[in-house]
């Protein structure tokens, strides 16, 4: 009898064997038949099949059109390709101080708006605003440098890269000034009414205008290039912390 019961249990499915341990034979048979063997299995397709051959052809054409459109989309230029094409170079005809003076006036209004009331007081509140500002259009002057010949160089910033300032001087010369080992001075007049120097003005009018600009109260701050070696886009989201520098 034991051998026959063992052979019958081996022939039965494992679900019936497990149910027989908890229920009587009739209840085991009912549960196995109703809830396991005859239970329907519902399948949900990922996408409905096309209704006819015409819809299938239309869907295939749309898929090919999208893949072809994606393949024809031009890829963005790399940094090396941009440099080879000269997209960052300023032509010689555009290296004129007078062309960038309106940009400088826009930058003065921009920096005054950023500083707000702290343009009169300065201090620690103005420091984080200045470090995160964009200096395209600022007029910078080199006051200290590892190269003595660069001291006194002054011009409008036309390109603010990670390691250099590219400026245009009043003599219509383009200069590339490295930030490393250089201290820059920037002056921001407190008054908003500053006029630009035009090419047709006489020398006397230019001297009078320069005297009036020199007499205006200004906020003067210095930027240490050693601590400023970031792109303008990276500085906008970077938080600077005050720390001691052995170089200074």
User: Could you tell me which residue, 71 or 201, shows the higher pLDDT?
Assistant: 71
Q: Is residue 67 part of a domain?
A: no
pLDDT band at 197 (very low <50, low <70, confident <90, very high): very low
The top-scoring range by mean pLDDT among 18-22, 107-111, 192-196, 229-233 is 107-111
Both tokens of residue 239?
A: 């938080």
Percent of the chain residues topping a pLDDT of 90: 12
Q: What is the CATH number of the domain that holds 169?
A: 2.30.30.210
DSSP annotation string for 115-145? HTTHHHH-STTHHHHHHTS--TT-EEEEEEE
Q: Is residue 174 part of a domain?
A: yes
* Range name among 7-16, 124-133, 166-175, 219-228 with the lowest pLDDT average: 7-16
Sheet holding 182-189, edge to edge: 174-178, 164-168, 154-160, 139-145, 182-189, 218-224
Q: ∠ at Cα 100 (98, 106), nearest 5°?
A: 125
Q: What is the mean pLDDT of residues 118-141?
A: 80
pLDDT in tens, 13-56: 788 888 888 888 888 888 888 888 777 766 666 666 656 778 88
Q: Is residue 26 part of a domain?
A: no
Q: Is residue 160 part of a domain?
A: yes
66 bridge partner residues: none
- Predicted pLDDT at 76: 81
Q: Is residue 184 part of a domain?
A: yes
pLDDT band at 213 (very low <50, low <70, confident <90, very high): low
Give me the chain's average pLDDT, please.
78
Q: Is residue 75 part of a domain?
A: no
DSSP annotation string for 23-81? S-HHHHHHHIIIIIIS-------SSPPPSSHHHHHHHHHHHHHHHHHHHHSPPPPPHHH
pLDDT band at 1 (very low <50, low <70, confident <90, very high): very low
Q: How many domains does the chain have?
A: 1
User: How far apart, in whole angstroms, are the C-alpha atoms of residue 19 and residue 21?
Assistant: 5
Residue with tokens 């990922």, as numbered in its chain:
46
pLDDT in tens, 89-129: 888 888 888 999 999 999 999 988 888 887 777 667 777 78
pTM of this structure: 0.59
Q: Is residue 147 part of a domain?
A: yes
CA distances (Å), origin 25, targets 11, 19, 31, 38: 16, 9, 10, 18
CB 118 within 8 Å of CB 129? yes
pLDDT in tens, 153-165: 999 999 888 888 8
Q: Is residue 145 part of a domain?
A: yes
Domain range holding 123?
90-190+215-235
CB 153 within 8 Å of CB 166? no
- Predicted pLDDT at 194: 47
């Amino acid at each position: 009898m034991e051998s026959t019961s063992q052979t019958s249990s081996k022939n039965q499915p494992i679900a019936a064997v497990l149910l027989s341990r908890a229920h009587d034979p009739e209840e085991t048979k009912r549960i196995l038949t109703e809830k396991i063997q005859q239970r329907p299995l519902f399948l949900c397709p990922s996408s409905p099949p096309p209704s006819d051959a015409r819809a299938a052809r239309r869907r295939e054409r749309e898929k090919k059109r999208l893949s072809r459109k994606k393949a024809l989309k031009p890829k963005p230029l790399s940094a090396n390709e941009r440099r080879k094409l000269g997209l960052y170079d300023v032509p010689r005809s555009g290296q004129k101080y007078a062309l960038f003076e309106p940009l400088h006036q826009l930058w003065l209004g921009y920096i005054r708006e950023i500083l707000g009331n702290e343009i009169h007081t300065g201090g620690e509140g103005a420091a984080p605003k200045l470090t995160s500002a964009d200096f395209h259009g600022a007029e910078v002057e080199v006051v200290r440098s590892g190269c003595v010949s660069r001291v006194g160089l002054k011009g409008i910033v036309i390109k603010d890269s990670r390691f250099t300032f590219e400026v245009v001087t009043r003599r219509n010369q383009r200069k590339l000034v490295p930030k490393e080992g250089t201290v820059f001075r920037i002056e921001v007049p407190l008054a908003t009414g500053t006029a630009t120097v035009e090419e047709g003005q006489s020398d006397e009018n230019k001297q009078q205008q320069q005297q009036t600009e020199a007499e205006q109260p200004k906020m003067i701050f210095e930027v240490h290039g050693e601590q400023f070696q970031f792109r303008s886009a990276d500085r906008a989201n970077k938080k600077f912390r005050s720390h001691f520098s052995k170089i200074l």
